[in-house]
Amino acid sequence: MFLRAIGRPLLAKVKQTTGIVGLDVVPNARAVLIDLYSKTLKEIQAVPEDEGYRKAVESFTRQRLNVCKEEEDWEMIEKRLGCGQVEELIEEARDELTLIGKMIGSYSRCLYRLRTIGI
């Protein structure tokens, strides 16, 4: 039991490079992804429930978050998701959070305009 708890992280494969210029290895990629996906699910709640964008984001984010929680090894996360390297997934998740903020702003401006014209 002790060896499993202590030895597993020591025996885990360490990624040396992503092989992509400008994309550095993230040693704690799993933890970063879990955090980003959790934030995404929280932030997307501000988008109206009936919006297709919200439904799509919630669906793929939940699926990716579940894989990250189930797998501890970055290689297995990459293999199960089939969407590139964990570092690429981190960039995608950060971009999605930025986009959610823009979408929320867009909805707010749209609602304001509709209210000012009486709709």
Q: Report the alpha-carbon distance of residue 15 to residue 28 in Å, rounded.
A: 11
Q: Per-residue pLDDT tens for 47-69?
A: 889 889 999 999 999 999 999 99
Residue in 26, 2, 46, 6 with CA at minimum distance from that of residue 90 = 26
pLDDT at 90 over 60: yes
**What pLDDT is attached to residue 105?**
82
Which residue is it, tokens 């304001």? 112
**What pLDDT is attached to residue 13?**
76
User: What does pTM read for this prediction?
Assistant: 0.81
